[in-house]
Amino acid sequence: MGEEKLRRVRDRVRPFPDFPEPGVLFRDISPLLKDPAAFRTLIDLLEDHLRASFPKIDFIAGLDSRGFLIGPPLAQRLGIGFVPVRKKGKLPGPTQSVSYTLEYGKAELEIQSDAVEPGQKVVIVDDLLATGGTMRAACELLQRLKAEILECLVVIELKPLKGSEKLNSIPFHSLLQYD
Residues annotated as part of the active site = 66, 103
Instruction: Identify whether the C-beta of residue 60 lies closer than 8 Å to the C-beta of residue 78.
Output: yes
Strand partners, 62: 84, 125
Looking at residue 82, the DSSP 8-state letter turns out to be E
Looking at residue 104, the DSSP 8-state letter turns out to be T
Residue 124: in which H helix or E strand, if any? strand 121-129
- Residue 22 makes CB contacts below 8 A (sequence gap 6+) with none
